[in-house]
């Protein structure tokens, strides 16, 4: 019988390994309070006129990256961070000084300066989705796909 | 009587079955074989038999003695044998491969394979980064390149997939064909090289020709950077040691963008059976929306790999998502998404004989590195040997370890403490942050790390996916360095990214950071959040002086004045952190490239004497990458690099 065990043992073990159900451990650990990078409950809307546009920041400007637009509102000037892709590619946002604009975003302090992290921009009669509700910048491809379906989840 | 009758019936049935299957309808068909193969190169061959699935295939070839070899020489129907071509082309320039039925020796099939005159080695490469197009798309690239072994560096073939998810995706299912090119080693013996790949896809690189800067850490492993100005990216290139389909349990992570244009990462554990069926689960972070433990949809499959070890995985993460995979070796696979509206790149590492038997004790003291150039952040650090922190979480019938004892057992919650450096560009900049946390690992090998003390910025929860303890994550063909560890993926609402845990040696010493290294990194600056990448070879002397030469890819002028410079120099002095063993600072790391000089504040963590990870800790820029002990570097090259650096500096 010994030979049978030596021959069958590895086979049985291998079968057992493949038979193991791959049960995932789900994330039910106690999580610390997460400071949201983009807290949608703090969103504000600003309406005004475009004062200036910085389409591409240069290293020398020492501004935080991405496109910026400065908007004159009734309560003063507001600078908005439009992210890396808003003004790039097909269907990109184009605004010029003097144009009406509406920004929806969260005010944050970046390098000591108050900046609106814009999620939505309304201009040219359109609403441009710049970021999602978690503050992640949409890639340019999203402009094509967002019009096709509301959401596909995270499916690749 | 009853038994005798039964035997007669059984024997009759068998005879009828044999007669039925042994007739003229029994066929052998070779289903996979290359039509052309470089001398010395290897490729899968597969044959199937009809009517008798238990039949075996005997592999042979002609001209005998000069036609190559098969491993194994006998395979079950439908199972690949690895055919290795002769080291030189035989008379006539081709060989005939024959597959013969073992049970029916008169049944066979043949194919003719043209053998090109140069023996070659296959290397699997993959990289991700930023495309230098109108919008700066995130893109992924993966492939196999066959490089001649005759010392010429000639690229004799290969195939690849490129995907930016925004209109530039290699045609599927064929991918791109690599028709030629070259690997030109730097003359100084540093291990630096330029790899040129000529493809049949004019949309890629410069008119279809891609250029990569490469640095070899050893003959089987290199770090790479796309270097032709059409894009910039970082990745690796490893000798391909097998081309057979993955079988068994694999941990995996991938990251990229999904069909909605949002950043996404996945991590999980898959099992591949011998028929290509995929089961398992995955965790997902879809631009801040985290879901965990999702079962792989029924029907997910992987196809058999082609002669270059490239295959297709379908339905693994849901929907109609399509990944192609490239086999590096029996337990390492690179995966690339090839959907038209998404892009992602990742790896799968086998779990070996540890599959199903992991525990929280599988993760010990480690160095971690997590980053995403699309999300503009990186974090690296180390944590110390865990001890039991709490009670068993799931299986209450199992042994309950005492608090303070070495941590072990599946699903046991273990605590840890460590120090890390985190740079979220435009956000938290956190050097030398002490932190605490806990983690648990299931028998399947997955779990979560949760940071609950200290400040690692937005790095709070990481999915963890343990790999075979005998695998080297950074250099899969080298098992002499630290092995084991895990892949990690952000499961936070604020960050999307992936990385790895590398076991940290118990006897790390500041003196370990000494000698020759291959190094590389990927980073961004806040100049429009654009990317730069570099690779290089250098040395650290006994005073901590670091000096290297390499290639900087900076097409967006993110770090320097812009351009590609393959004579970039890197100098600095590594200073050991007296408060945190294994941590070093280099401030500044001076990079001289593209006619510009930049000083960067850099932190290095030691996993073991051969493997280090590093991060740039400046408020206006970050990078992260690795330094790996090099055997492809010689002292003369070091002296030349140092002399060149001094010349440029003054």
Asked if residues A56 and A42 have their Cβ atoms less than 8 Å apart, the reply is: no
Query: Is B527 close to A58, i.e. CB distance below 8 A?
Result: yes
pLDDT of residue B402: 52
Same domain for B607 and B569: yes
User: How far A98 CA lies from chain B's nearest CA (Å)?
Assistant: 24
B128, B132, B139, B261: best to mutate for the A interface, most A CBs within 10 A: B261
Does residue B639 share a domain with residue B554?
yes
Under an 8 A CB cutoff, do B284 and A154 touch? yes
Domain boundary among the residues B78, B98, B116 is at B116
Give the Cα separation of B18 and B55 in Å (integer): 12
pLDDT on residue B89: 79
* Distance in angstroms (rounded) separating the CA atoms of residues B82 and B329: 13
A36 touches chain B (CB under 8 A): yes
Interface of A with B in 38-57 (CB under 8 A): 38, 56-57
Shared domain for B549 and B602, answered yes or no, is yes
Would you call B648 helix, strand, or coil by DSSP? helix
| One domain, residues B479 and B609 | no
What pLDDT does residue B390 have? 52
- For chain A, list the domains and their CATH numbers: 40-137 (2.40.50.1010)
Test mutation, B165, B249, B258, chain A, max A CBs within 10 A: B258
Q: Do A65 and B529 touch (CB under 8 A)?
A: yes
Find the Cα–Cα–Cα–Cα dihedral B622, B497, B290, B165, rounded to 10°.
110
| Neighboring chain A residues of B132 at a CB cutoff of 8 Å | none
- DSSP letters along B206-235, please? BTTEEEEEEEEEETTEEEEEE-SSSEEEEE
How many domains, in total, are found in chain B?
Answer: 3
Report d(CA B100, CA B7) in Å as an integer.
32
Residue B248 inside a domain? The answer is no
Helix (H), strand (E) at residue B13:
helix B2-21
Q: What angle do CA B222, B227, B229 make, to 5 degrees?
A: 165
Out of B440, B468, B483, a domain closes at B483
Domain range for B106 is 26-116
Q: Looking at the domain assignment, is residue B437 inside a domain?
A: yes
Tell me if chain B has a CB within 8 Å of the CB of A33.
no
Interchain CB contact of A153 with B (< 8 Å): yes
In tens, the pLDDT along A28-64 reads: 444 455 667 788 999 999 999 999 998 765 554 444 5
CA distance A67 to B524: 16
Residues B465 and B523 grouped into a single domain: no
Encode burial over B528-567: b for 16+ CB neighbours within 10 A, e otherwise: bbbbbbbbbbbbbeeebebbbbbbbbbbbbbbbebebbbe
Q: Do residues B559 and B595 both lie within one domain?
A: yes
In a domain, B409, yes or no: yes
Residue B1, domain member (yes or no): no
Domain membership of residue B491 (yes or no) is no
| B256 at A interface, C-beta within 8 A | yes
Evaluate whether residue B126 is within a structural domain. no
Do residue B452 and residue B361 come from a single domain? yes
B544 and B643 both lie in a single domain: yes
- Nearest CA-CA distance, residue A2 and chain B, Å: 23
Beta pairing partners, B614: B604, B625
Does residue B33 sit within a domain? yes
Among B116, B146, B166, give the residue marking a domain's end: B116
Which distant-in-sequence residues (6+ apart) come within 8 Å of B216 by Cβ? B191, B193, B222, B518, B630, B632
For B:392-411, CB contacts with A below 8 A are 394, 411
- Judge: B376–A88 Cβ closer than 8 Å, yes or no: no
SS3 assignment, position B191? coil
Whole-number pLDDT of residue B633:
78
Return the closest-CA partner of residue B21 out of B121, B142, B107: B107
Task: Quickly state the pLDDT bin for A85 (edges 50, 70, 90).
Answer: confident
Q: Which of B261, B288, B376 sits opposite A145 (nearest CB)?
A: B261
> CA-based Rg of chain A, rounded to a whole angstrom?
25
Those residues with Cβ within 8 angstroms of residue B126's Cβ, 6 or more apart along the chain or in another chain: B140, B141, B142, B143, B235, B236, B326, B334, B336, B345, B347
In a shared domain, residues B474 and B604: no
Of B175, B173, B150, B194, which is closest to residue B41 (Cα–Cα)?
B150
Residue linked to tokens 């193969």: B37
Residue B238 near residue B549, CB atoms below 8 Å:
no
The ipTM of this complex is: 0.71
Q: Do residues B514 and B642 both lie within one domain? A: yes
Q: Mark whether B537 and B576 lie in a shared domain.
A: yes
* CB within 8 Å of B420: residues ≥ 6 apart: B368, B379, B380, B381, B382, B430, B433, B435, B456, B459
Per-residue confidence (pLDDT) for residue A146, from 0 to 100: 57
Report the CATH number at residue B538.
2.40.160
Residue of chain B nearest A92, judged by CA positions: B135
Which CATH number does the domain housing residue B59 bear?
2.60.40.10
Q: Is residue B278 part of a domain?
A: no
Query: For each successive 10 residues of chain B (650 residues), what is the average pLDDT?
Result: 50 43 70 87 90 87 92 93 87 90 92 83 96 89 93 92 94 95 92 97 97 96 97 98 94 92 93 94 95 93 94 80 94 96 96 96 95 95 72 45 68 92 92 95 96 94 97 93 92 96 93 96 87 96 96 95 95 97 97 96 97 96 97 67 52
Q: Which residue blocks in B68-160 are alpha helix, DSSP H? A: none
Q: Which residue has the higher pLDDT, A141 or A75?
A: A75
**What is the C-alpha to C-alpha distance for residues B501 and B365, in angstroms, rounded to an integer?**
9
Residue B517 sits in the same domain as residue B408:
no
């Amino acid at each position: 019988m010994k030979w049978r065990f030596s021959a069958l043992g590895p086979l049985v073990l291998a079968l057992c390994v493949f038979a193991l159900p791959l049960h995932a451990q789900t994330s039910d650990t106690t999580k610390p309070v997460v400071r949201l990078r983009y807290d949608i409950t703090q969103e504000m809307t600003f309406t005004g006129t475009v004062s200036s546009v910085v389409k591409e920041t240069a290293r020398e400007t020492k501004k935080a990256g991405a496109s910026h637009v400065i908007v004159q509102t009734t309560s003063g000037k507001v600078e908005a961070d439009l992210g890396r892709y808003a003004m790039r590619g097909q269907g990109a946002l184009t605004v010029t000084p003097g144009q009406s604009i509406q920004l929806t975003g969260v005010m944050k302090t970046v390098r000591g300066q108050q900046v609106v992290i814009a999620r939505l921009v309304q201009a040219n009669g359109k609403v441009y989705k710049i970021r999602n509700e978690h503050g992640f910048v949409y890639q340019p491809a999203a402009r094509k796909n967002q019009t096709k379906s509301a959401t596909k989840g995270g499916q690749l | 009587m009853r038994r005798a009758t039964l035997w007669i019936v059984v024997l009759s049935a068998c005879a009828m079955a044999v007669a039925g299957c042994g007739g003229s309808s029994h066929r052998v068909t070779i289903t996979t074989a290359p039509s052309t193969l470089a001398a010395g190169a290897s490729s899968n061959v597969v044959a199937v038999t009809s009517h008798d699935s238990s039949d075996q295939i005997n592999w042979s070839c002609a001209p005998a003695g000069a036609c190559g070899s098969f491993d194994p020489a006998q395979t079950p129907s439908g199972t690949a044998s690895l055919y290795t071509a002769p080291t030189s082309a035989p008379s006539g320039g081709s060989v005939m491969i024959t597959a013969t039925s073992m049970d029916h020796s008169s049944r066979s099939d043949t194919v003719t394979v043209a053998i090109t005159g140069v023996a070659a080695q296959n290397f699997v490469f993959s990289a991700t980064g930023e495309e230098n197009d109108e919008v700066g798309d995130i893109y992924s690239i993966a492939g196999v390149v066959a490089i001649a072994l005759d010392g010429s560096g000639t690229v004799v073939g290969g195939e690849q997939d490129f995907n930016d998810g925004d209109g530039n995706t290699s045609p599927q299912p064929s991918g791109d064909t690599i028709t030629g090119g070259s690997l030109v080693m730097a003359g100084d013996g540093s291990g630096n090289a330029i790899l040129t790949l000529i493809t049949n896809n004019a949309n890629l690189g410069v008119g279809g020709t891609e250029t990569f800067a490469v640095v070899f850490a050893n003959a089987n492993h290199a770090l790479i950077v796309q270097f032709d100005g059409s894009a910039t990216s970082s990745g690796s290139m490893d000798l391909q040691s097998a081309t057979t389909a993955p079988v068994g349990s694999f941990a995996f992570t991938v990251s990229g963008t999904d069909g909605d244009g949002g950043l996404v990462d996945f991590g999980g554990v898959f099992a591949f059976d011998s028929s290509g069926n995929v089961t398992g689960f995955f965790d997902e972070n879809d631009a801040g929306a985290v879901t965990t433990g999702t079962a792989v949809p029924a029907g997910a499959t992987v196809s058999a790999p082609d002669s270059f070890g490239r295959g297709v995985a379908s339905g693994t993460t849901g929907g109609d998502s399509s990944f192609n995979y490239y086999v590096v070796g029996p337990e390492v696979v690179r995966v690339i998404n090839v959907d038209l509206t998404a892009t992602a790149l990742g790896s799968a590492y086998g779990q070996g004989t540890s599959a199903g038997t992991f525990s929280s004790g599988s993760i010990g003291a480690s160095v971690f590195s997590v980053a995403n150039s699309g999300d503009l952040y990186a974090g690296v650090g180390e944590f110390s040997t865990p001890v039991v922190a709490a009670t068993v979480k799931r299986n209450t019938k199992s042994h309950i370890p005492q608090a303070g004892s070495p941590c072990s057992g599946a699903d046991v919650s273990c605590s840890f403490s460590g120090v890390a450096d985190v740079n979220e560009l435009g956000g938290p900049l956190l050097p030398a942050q002490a932190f605490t946390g806990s983690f648990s690992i299931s028998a399947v090998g997955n779990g979560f790390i949760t940071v609950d003390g200290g400040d690692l910025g937005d790095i709070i929860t990481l999915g963890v996916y343990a790999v075979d303890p005998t695998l080297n994550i950074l250099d899969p063909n080298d098992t002499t360095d630290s092995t084991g560890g895990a892949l990690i993926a952000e499961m936070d609402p604020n960050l999307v990214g992936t990385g790895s845990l590398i076991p940290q040696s118990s006897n790390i010493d500041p003196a370990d950071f000494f000698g020759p290294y291959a190094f590389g990194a990927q980073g961004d600056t806040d100049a429009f959040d654009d990317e730069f990448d570099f690779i290089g070879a250098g040395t650290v002397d006994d005073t901590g002086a670091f000096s290297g030469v390499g290639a900087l890819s900076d097409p967006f002028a993110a770090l320097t004045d812009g351009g590609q410079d393959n004579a970039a120099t890197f100098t600095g002095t590594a200073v050991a952190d007296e408060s945190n063993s294994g941590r070093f600072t280099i401030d500044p790391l001076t990079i001289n490239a593209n006619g510009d000089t930049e000083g960067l504040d850099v932190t290095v963590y030691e996993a073991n004497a051969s493997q280090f990870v590093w991060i740039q800790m400046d408020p206006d820029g970050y990078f992260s990458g690795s330094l790996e002990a090099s055997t492809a570097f010689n002292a003369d090259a070091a002296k030349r690099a140092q002399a060149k650096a001094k010349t440029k500096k003054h």
